Amino acid sequence: MNESEILRIKQRFGIIGNSPLLNHALEVAMQVAPTDMTVLITGESGSGKESFSKIIHQLSARKHGSFIAVNCGAIPEGTIDSELFGHEKGSFTGAIDARKGYFEVTNKGTIFLDEIAELPLSTQARLLRVLEVGEFIKVGSSKVLKTDVRVVAATNVGLEEAVHKGKFREDLYYRLSTVPIFVPPLRDRGDDLELIFRKFAGDFSDKYKTKPLKLTPEATVVLHSYNYPGNIRQLKNIVEQMSVLEFEKTIEADVMRKYLPSTRPNHPVLYKGNTESESLSERDLLYKVLFDLKSDVTDLKKLVSEIIENDGQIHPKMTDEHNRLLKTDTAQQIKEPPRVETPTPYVIDVPTNPTAPVEYNQAGKIEDISHELEDDDSLSIEKKEKELIIKALRKNSNKRKYAAQDLGISERTLYRKIKQYDV
């Protein structure tokens, strides 16, 4: 396939860049488009996978048929079968009328299933039957319907690993990946980064009636130093911010650094388990945080008991963990117990719980304060979950997809949590 044909496709679909990886992906898309083969597009979020699905549709014999893009991760699990395959009247609560699904509506056309890994296993079985024999059944019906639809799927996660974990059907994986197309991330496209920056700068210059942004050589070096985990989508947001907020349109290196964080945000929800393949759910993570907090409180109780038993003095063999706890304001108060003018001998009554902390009162007696610390142990998991969700939504301007990525959960799970907590 010659370069002129690739250049024509780039101009037609607004694709910027000339990296070898990008050109190879375009060549594969152009070769497979005239066929009816199922295509699996892989690549990171924001790398432009949907553009390749449109190229495949427009260069195929189905170009005059319908094209529909479906984000599988944005549809709640309870309704996704109805969305894809339709339902009959009265098949479930709220089904006041019969409805055609996407596979029926796009007959003779192309359906693009983005985030295919988010499909429930039951829906995967239905999809496999469509791919193999072109048949499906509406929700609440027993009538088998036929459809002639080409499926182009996309994912930003490793389906092989999902198959290994039992979260994705192996037979469906092999059926989808008849022709794989890998869309390279922005950081692997070399000089394409500058070309795309200039394209966005020109677009936002026209949109906001300002001069286009220009990068100094030093700023260009800074531009290439970042990994862009959000790829083209992230770069577009950065250029738009700079176009609106910067009065000086010649961008220096220091200004460029303001819009490129040096490290990715360290959200607690991104915690990984002991192995790379084991990650904690948001509920497991909150439990872990609470257990760690309770462990610190228990250590503090033991520390108080040690100090009391040593007449308020720090034991020379005290562990480093106790020394860490002594840096708190509470520990400072313990190190200097209240003094009375006439020392009064005191007797330590052994408490029922040997680890329960004790404290002085003015009469020299010792009171059990474990009940006060125990009250601090009670924390609401639901409240913490809701706070994390609100923070993630505010950070991402209420865009659920990016908020879900920051939280380390699927968009469907985030949607359910939003409804559950009435956010």
What pLDDT shows up at residue 323?
Answer: 54
Q: Which residues, in sequence order, are CB contacts of 291 under 8 Å at separation 6+?
A: none
Q: Which residues contact 230 (CB under 8 A, 6 or more apart)?
A: 45, 46, 237, 402
SS3 182: strand
Q: How confident is the model at residue 109 (pLDDT cuts 50, 70, 90)?
A: very high
Q: Residue 350: what pLDDT? A: 44
Place 101 in a pLDDT band, splitting at 50, 70 and 90.
very high
Residue 98's pLDDT is 87
Six-digit token string for 155: 């994912």
Q: Residue 291: its pLDDT value, please? A: 64
Tell me which of 5-19, 242-256, 284-298 is least confident: 284-298
Answer yes or no: is pLDDT of 347 > 60.
no
Q: Which residue has the higher pLDDT, 283 or 299?
A: 299
- The percentage of the chain sitting over the pLDDT mark of 70, rounded to a whole number, equals 74
Cβ contact 70:79 at 8 Å: no
- Residue 342 in tokens: 């006439």
Query: Which is more confidently placed, 412 or 201?
Result: 201
- Position 324 scores a pLDDT of 52
Q: Look at residue 414 in the predicted model and tell me its pLDDT.
A: 81
* Residue type at position 148: D
88's tokens: 């009959």
> Which whole number is the average pLDDT over 318-328?
51
Residue 157 has pLDDT above 60, yes or no: yes
Residue 155's SS3 state is: strand
Q: What is the pLDDT of residues 169-215, one digit of tens each?
A: 999 999 998 899 999 999 999 999 999 999 999 999 999 999 999 99
Mean pLDDT for 253-270 is 68
- Contacts of residue 342, defined as CB under 8 A and 6 or more positions apart, other chains included, come to none
Distance CA 63, CA 56 (A): 9
**Model confidence at 359: pLDDT above 90:** no
User: pLDDT: is 40 or 393 the higher one?
Assistant: 40
Evaluate whether 53 touches 69 at the Cβ level (below 8 Å): yes
pLDDT digits (tens, 9 = 90+) for 80-100: 999 999 988 887 777 788 889
Residue 283 binned pLDDT confidence (cut-offs 50, 70, 90): low
Give the residue-averaged pLDDT of 7-14: 92
Share of the chain above pLDDT 90, in %: 54
pLDDT confidence bin for 335, thresholds 50/70/90: very low
- What pLDDT, in 10s, does the model give residues 239-248? 999 999 999 9
Full DSSP string of 206-233: HHHTSPPPEE-HHHHHHHHT---TTHHH
pLDDT of residue 128: 95
Closest CA to 334 of 344, 346, 326: 326
pLDDT, position 420: 81
For 149, the 3-state DSSP assignment is coil
Highest-confidence segment of 45-59, 271-285, 368-382:
45-59
Per DSSP bridges, beta strands 110-114 and 67-71 are parallel
Which range, 242-251, 296-305, 372-381, 409-418, has the best average confidence (pLDDT)?
A: 242-251
Looking at residue 77, its pLDDT comes to 87
Are 193 and 186 a contacting pair, CB within 8 Å? yes
What rounded mean pLDDT belongs to the chain?
A: 80
The pLDDT value recorded for residue 90 is 80
Residue 288 binned pLDDT confidence (cut-offs 50, 70, 90): low
pLDDT at 287: 59
Higher model confidence: residue 249 or residue 266? 249
Q: Examine the pLDDT at 133 and tell me if it is beyond 70.
A: yes
Strand order in the sheet with 150-155: 67-71, 110-114, 150-155, 39-42, 179-182
Domains of the chain with CATH codes: 3-184 (3.40.50.300), 190-258 (1.10.8.60), 287-377 (no CATH)
